[in-house]
Structure 1
Amino acid sequence: MEQYIEFIGNNAILSIIWLALVVMIVASWFKSKFSAIRQINPQQLTLLVNREDAQVVDIRPVKEFNSGRIAGAVQLSAEKAKQSDFAGLEKHKNKPIILVCTTGMTASGIANTMHKAGYEQVYVLNGGMGAWQSAGLPTTNGK
């Protein structure tokens, strides 16, 4: 125990950095555990669509959406979504909605906005379209 106290005394900055990292990891864990937004993988997305009639909402730009998307997905621009403009999705307010972007990062913020707007079951595809394609799952093209 004395060695720990001596180490902390001799390496105050390193000890503070270590403590900050531990706090951030614990805070991140709590946030993910108690968040209303769930991250799902491609297999879970498929189950939600097939079993609970979930709606896939792709928030990538139109050009990317048209070059390859999950079958049945609808496109919603990220700009509209950030402004809480969820036109066309009102009928899905009580159903599962799965947000998809390129990597899953943009979708997380928009999922929080949707949840605050009253959408009850909002999910994010963890890893976005990259995860979907890496899993070897099919995409559709065209308008």
Structure 2
Amino acid sequence: MSRTMPATVETPQVRSLIESNPRTRLIDVRAPGEFAAAHIPGSANVPLDLLREHRTELTAAHEDPVVLVCASGARAEQARGVLETAGLDQLSVLSGGITGWQQHEGPMTRGSGTWAMERQVRLTAGLLVLTGVVGSTLHAPLKWIAGFVGGGLTFAAITNTCAMSRVLGLLPHNRTPKSDAATTLQALTSEQSPAGSPSR
């Protein structure tokens, strides 16, 4: 199968794509808790950690266009790398992710769920830095906690990866139950398009 999808698409392009091809699949690769809190109507949640765990099993029984979605686009890009390695190439990443979608006044379905991963990372990093700085007044070597976090955030920015988000993704509220893994992956790989059409 040759690539016919652009590497990235803006929100208006996604809406046009859905209008011209209703079988377009919006695959949200954020954690389940993030997806439950807010997502694009009609999108399906197939978390990045699940794609990594099952990368050797991934094959697509369809040629539907797939648009990968996350909060900002970074995790969707990582997901595309995983999926292309598995042989799926009709993939695009929603530029700017959910944030870009909302900036273009795209509709959202909201519910109860966890904070966005970026917000979880900011909280964890902030608490570690604060602990290191305050703790260093009692025990000087604790200042290196703040230095370690600063170094990690710098590396994350340079490489566009985030080890802290991967660790936080292992928490129960950020993971897909193992019993649901096969069903969850079908939204991406099965011949039948997921129930519900993405909103225009």
Q: Does 1:58 align with 2:33?
A: no
Partner of residue 11 from structure 2, selected from 14, 37, 42: 42
**TM-score, with normalisation over the residues of structure 1?**
0.65
CA 1:49–1:128: 2 relative to 1, 3 Å:
same
Structure 1 unaligned blocks of 5 or more: 1-35
CA 1:54–1:63: 2 relative to 1, 3 Å:
same
- The code of the aligned residue for 1:69 comes to H
CA offsets, 1:92-141, max 9 Å, x none? Answer: 4x111000011101111211221222223100001110000111110113
Q: Measure the CA separation in 2 of the matches of 1:54 and 1:139.
A: 18
2:52 counterpart residue number: 82
Q: Measure the CA separation in 1 of the matches of 2:19 and 2:110.
A: 21
Q: Which runs of structure 2 are paired with 1:1-143 in the superposition (5 Å)?
A: 38-52=7-21, 53-83=23-53, 84=55, 90-92=60-62, 94-142=63-111
Aligned residues: 106
Q: Which one has more relative contact order, counting CA pairs under 8 Å at least 6 apart? A: 2
Q: Measure the CA separation in 1 of the matches of 2:56 and 2:13.
A: 27
Runs of 4+ in 1 over 4 A off after TM superposition: none
Aligned alpha-carbon RMSD (Å): 2.3
Structure 2 unaligned blocks of 5 or more: 113-200
Q: Any conservation in 2 of the 1:103–1:126 contact (CA below 8 Å)?
A: yes
1:98 is paired with a residue whose SS is strand
Q: Measure the CA separation in 2 of the matches of 1:86 and 1:47.
A: 32
